[in-house]
């Protein structure tokens, strides 16, 4: 990239960077070799001619866009397969996916949840049967759980799988409209198999929801099998190429062994054998929630790169009347909008790495029959997924706004990035619903703390707070982390006390919970923020990096801490010993941090190492040819391929002529 002819502002910005950008790239990737491998892989993918679009996707019809996405998905699959064989390298398909599809792959659910559910929920025999076929795309699948009537409350799903011991089959039925599956990615027209989550019935008795692997289309003709009604749900805010679909069954029979039986089992005679923990059926969702935290880091880095490079190139208005127009990046309000995006991406990445380790540890435990840490993992993944996805959505939107009118152009790519980022707030567990799951855990932990029990590490601050809730405020990163824990503990206590108050007033527990649920949700958010702050600060101070880079990483981590303290200063004033003077000191610190980060802003986004093909943005490319690219892209509009459009003769001219009469 170094030889590209760049906009002079970007050249100047890069020259003043105080740290080695390559060092940060390597740190993010996990080593110099990892960067080399990643770049080689991406170079290979983006040099495949067939993966490049002749016409910008935006001008294609819904149908053509889908077909083009499938075309590219199959080519990408082949290239990746060859590449993996040749280099024994497991690539990050999400990064290149943004470049290849601009939006998302119609195979997203195949890779992300279908294969993962076979691994997580299938017995070794079931894995042996379906995994090789799924991994080499002999069968293509999705994860069909959500229905028209129910997404959050999965115990309320209506799709039925009734066991027939005579034929040793399950009979699938969707008797009501609300029971139709609705949303699964790839279901519309791509997949031939699904994981269907359905209510198991044996001899008229319900045994809760279970996962079934179901073939829905003929492998040769792709026609829906008899008894299957399937289709696409239509255009959405984003995710246009995900091919989300609907599905219903009428007396559709599948063999007994198509129920994934790693947890619970149905024997030939219809005996139901309970699993170790019925919530293990929800395992794929936990895995994907963890993954979404990593995805938030990637999405935030895409938006930050575009908006920061654009802000270095764009000049508008003056700070001093007699001086030239300034780069908009010099406005401190612009820095306030953008630097939190850079900082958040690093925080999400560090927390993702921490959460993934916990996830893998719990999976190892479960394999040995130990489930003690599962509730903590579930509670932590829920609140982090909820808060990171919402933060990422806000940060991406702020980046878009920070690009003024040009941020509204599709060619900036910010609208598309926003579309797939905010989808994460809803899918894999709606944010409020997930925060309230964590609140259940926090309330239990609070009760345990009151009883003097030892708490799990992520909530042990509740016991510390009970022992001493009057800790002196300190304007240091460690002091701020403690402060976040105080806020979280204070909010958990307040929510718990509110529940007790309503119970004393005669409410039953469930109504008291609902009445206190705004406070419970806020307590859960505060808990999440305290984890984000503690983990990310901890990761940064343990990082081994050169002094120059470490200094910058600390500045970003501190910016995150101070930003969120100031954003939630009301909570700090209520629940910690912070004073108004401390807040004034933090405001000053925040301004110092913005100024310190300013010279490194472009270097920091360069270190996300997002190729132009992945950014796919007129505003964010490495060379900063913003206005040239905006014009080049505009000229690709079909309306610019003719000097007079037919609508002139058809409508405008008659209109003008009528006006003359």
Ligand X SMILES: CCCCC/C=C/C/C=C\C/C=C\C/C=C\C/C=C/C(=O)SCCNC(=O)CCNC(=O)[C@H](O)C(C)(C)COP(=O)(O)OP(=O)(O)OC[C@H]1O[C@@H](n2cnc3c(N)ncnc32)[C@H](O)[C@@H]1OP(=O)(O)O
Ligand Y SMILES: Cc1cc2nc3c(=O)[nH]c(=O)nc-3n(C[C@H](O)[C@H](O)[C@H](O)COP(=O)(O)OP(=O)(O)OC[C@H]3O[C@@H](n4cnc5c(N)ncnc54)[C@H](O)[C@@H]3O)c2cc1C
Lay out the site mask for ligand X across 401-440 (x = CB under 6 A, - = otherwise): --------------------------xxx---x---x--x
| DSSP letter, residue 327 | B
Tokens of 282: 């929800």
The distance of closest approach from Cβ of residue 517 to ligand Y in the complex, given in angstroms and rounded to an integer, is 6
User: Which range in 329-337, 372-380, 477-485, 505-513 contacts ligand X by CB under 6 A?
Assistant: 372-380
Beta-carbon contacts of residue 144 (< 8 Å; ≥ 6 apart):
181, 184, 187, 194, 195, 196, 197, 247
Alpha carbon 304 to its chain's center: 16
DSSP SS3 for 530: helix
Residue 436 in the binding site for ligand Y (CB under 6 A): yes
Cα–Cα distance measured from residue 214 to residue 201, given in angstroms and rounded to the nearest whole number:
17
Compute the CA torsion angle 505, 510, 511, 514 (nearest 10 deg): 120
**Smallest distance, Å, CB 139 to ligand Y?**
17
Query: Which one, 155 or 542, has the nearer CB to ligand X?
Result: 155
Active-site residues: which are they? 428
Q: Are 217 and 271 in contact (CB under 8 A)?
A: no
> Which residue intervals of 47-122 are DSSP H helices?
62-87, 93-101, 108-109, 115-121
Q: Give the max Cα distance, the chain.
A: 90
Query: Which of ligand Y, ligand X, none does residue 77 bind to, with CB < 5 to 8 Å depending on kind?
Result: none
CB-based contacts of 43, cutoff 8 Å, min separation 6: none
User: Is the Cβ of residue 10 or residue 214 nearer to ligand X in the bound state?
Assistant: 214
In the numeric block, which tokens belong to residue 341? 């995006």
Find out whether 281 is annotated in a ligand binding site: no
Rounded to an integer, what distance in angstroms lies between the CA atom of residue 296 and that of residue 293? Answer: 5
148 vs 557, beta carbon nearer ligand Y = 148
- DSSP 8-state symbol, 623: T
430 belongs to the binding site for ligand Y (CB under 6 A): yes
Is 238 near ligand X (CB under 6 A)? no
Regarding 143 and contact with ligand X (CB under 6 A), the answer is yes
User: Which residues between 147 and 166 bind ligand Y (CB under 6 A)?
Assistant: 150-152
Beta-bridge mates of residue 141? 193
285 binds ligand X (CB under 6 A): yes
Pattern 39-78, ligand X, x by CB under 6 A: ----------------------------------------
Closest to ligand X by CB, 85 vs 155, is 155
Pattern of binders to ligand Y over 205-244, x per CB under 6 A?
Answer: ----------------------------------x----x
Shorter beta-carbon distance to ligand Y: residue 426 or 460? 426
Identify the burial level of 364 via C-beta atoms within 10 angstroms of its C-beta, where 0-12 means exposed, 13-18 middle and 19 or more buried: exposed
The option from ligand X, ligand Y, none interacting with 374 (CB < 5 to 8 A, set by class) reads ligand X
Please identify, using beta-carbon distances, which residue of 187 and 399 lies nearer to ligand Y.
Answer: 187
- What is the CB neighbour count within 10 angstroms for residue 336? 16
For residue 513, the minimal CB distance to ligand Y (Å) is: 9
The site map against ligand Y for 275-304 (x = CB under 6 A) is ------------------------------
CA-based R_g, the chain, Å: 27
> Can residue 291 be called a binding residue for ligand X (CB under 6 A)?
yes
Q: How far apart are CA 612 and CA 551, in angstroms?
A: 28
User: Contact at 8 Å (CB) between 83 and 41?
Assistant: yes
Q: Give the single-character DSSP code of 147.
A: B
The answer to whether the CB of 487 falls within 8 A of the CB of 568 is yes
Contact 180, 145 (CB under 8 A): no
**Near ligand X by CB under 6 A: residue from 172, 288, 556, 614:** 288
Q: How close are the terminal C-alpha atoms of the chain, in Å?
A: 62
Three-state secondary-structure class, residue 25 = helix
Decide: is 433 part of the binding site for ligand Y (CB under 6 A): yes
Q: Which residue among 25, 109, 266, 347 contacts ligand Y (CB under 6 A)?
A: 109
Residue 432 binding target from ligand X, ligand Y, none, CB below 5 to 8 Å by type: ligand Y
Residue whose beta carbon is closest to ligand X = 112
Residue 523, classed as helix, strand or coil, is helix
Check whether 479 is labelled as a binding-site residue.
no
Write down the least CB distance from residue 490 to ligand Y, Å.
23
Q: Is 146 in the site for ligand Y (CB under 6 A)?
A: yes
Chain positions contacting ligand X, by CB under 6 A: 94, 108-109, 112-113, 143, 145-146, 152-155, 185, 279, 282, 285-286, 288, 291-292, 294-295, 298, 374-375, 378, 427-429, 433, 437, 440
Chain positions contacting ligand Y, by CB under 6 A: 109, 143-146, 150-152, 183-185, 239, 244, 423, 426-430, 432-433, 436
Which residues are documented as binding site for FAD? 146, 185
């Amino acid at each position: 990239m170094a030889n590209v002819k760049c906009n002079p502002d970007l050249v100047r910005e890069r020259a003043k960077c105080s740290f080695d950008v390559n060092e940060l790239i390597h740190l993010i990737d996990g080593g110099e070799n990892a960067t080399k491998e990643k770049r080689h892989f991406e170079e290979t993918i983006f040099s495949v001619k067939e993966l490049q679009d002749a016409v910008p996707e935006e001008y294609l019809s819904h149908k053509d866009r889908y077909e083009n996405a499938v075309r590219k998905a199959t080519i990408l699959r082949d290239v990746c397969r060859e590449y993996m064989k040749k280099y024994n390298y497991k690539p990050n398909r999400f990064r290149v996916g943004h470049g290849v599809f601009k939006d998302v792959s119609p195979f997203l659910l195949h890779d992300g949840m279908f294969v993962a559910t076979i691994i997580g929920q299938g017995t070794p025999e079931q894995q042996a049967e379906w995994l090789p076929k799924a991994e080499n795309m002999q069968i293509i699948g999705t994860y069909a759980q959500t229905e028209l009537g129910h997404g959050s409350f999965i115990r309320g799903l209506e799709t039925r799988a009734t066991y027939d011991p005579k034929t040793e089959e399950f009979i699938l039925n969707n008797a009501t409209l609300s029971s139709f599956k609705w949303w699964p990615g790839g279901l519309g027209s791509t997949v031939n198999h699904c994981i269907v989550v359905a209510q198991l019935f044996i001899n008229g008795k319900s045994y809760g929801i279970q996962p079934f692997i179901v073939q829905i289309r003929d492998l040769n003709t792709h026609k829906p099998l008899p008894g299957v009604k399937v289709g696409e749900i239509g255009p959405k805010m984003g995710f246009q190429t995900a091919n989300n679909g609907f599905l219903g069954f009428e007396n559709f029979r599948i063999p007994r062994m198509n129920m994934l039986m790693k947890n619970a089992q149905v024997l030939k005679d219809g005996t139901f054998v309970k699993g170790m923990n019925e919530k293990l059926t929800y395992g794929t969702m936990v895995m994907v929630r963890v993954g979404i935290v990593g995805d938030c880091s990637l999405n935030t880095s895409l938006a930050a790169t575009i908006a920061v490079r654009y802000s270095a190139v764009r000049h508008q208005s003056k700070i001093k009347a007699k001086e030239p127009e300034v780069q908009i990046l010099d406005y401190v309000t612009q820095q306030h909008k953008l630097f939190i995006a850079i900082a958040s991406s690093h925080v999400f990445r560090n927390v993702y790495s921490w959460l993934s380790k916990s996830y893998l540890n719990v999976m190892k435990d479960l394999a040995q029959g130990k489930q003690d840490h599962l509730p903590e993992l579930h509670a932590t993944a829920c609140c982090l997924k909820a808060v990171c996805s919402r933060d990422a959505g806000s940060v991406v939107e702020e980046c878009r706004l920070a690009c003024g009118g040009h941020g509204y152009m599709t060619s900036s790519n910010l609208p598309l990035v926003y579309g797939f980022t905010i989808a994460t707030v809803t899918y894999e567990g709606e944010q409020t619903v997930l925060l309230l799951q964590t609140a259940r855990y926090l309330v239990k932990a609070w009760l345990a703390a009151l009883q003097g029990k030892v708490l799990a590490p992520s909530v042990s601050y509740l016991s510390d707070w009970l022992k001493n809730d009057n800790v002196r405020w300190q304007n240091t990163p460690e002091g701020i982390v403690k402060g976040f824990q105080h806020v979280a503990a204070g909010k958990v206590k307040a929510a718990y006390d509110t529940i007790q108050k309503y119970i004393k007033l005669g409410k039953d527990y469930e109504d008291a919970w609902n009445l206190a649920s705004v406070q419970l949700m806020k307590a859960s958010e505060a808990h999440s923020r305290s984890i984000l702050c503690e983990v990310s600060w901890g990761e940064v101070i343990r990082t081994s990096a050169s002094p120059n880079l470490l200094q910058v990483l600390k500045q970003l981590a501190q910016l995150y801490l101070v930003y969120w303290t100031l954003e939630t200063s009301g909570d700090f004033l209520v629940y910690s010993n912070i004073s108004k003077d401390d807040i004034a000191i933090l405001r000053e610190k925040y301004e110092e941090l913005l100024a310190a980060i300013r010279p490194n802003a472009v270097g920091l986004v360069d270190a996300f190492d997002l190729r132009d093909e992945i950014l796919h943005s007129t505003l964010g490319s490495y060379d900063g040819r913003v206005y040239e690219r905006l014009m080049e892209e505009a000229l690709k509009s079909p309306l610019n391929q003719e000097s007079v459009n037919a609508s002139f003769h058809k409508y405008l001219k008659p209109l003008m002529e009528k006006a003359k009469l």
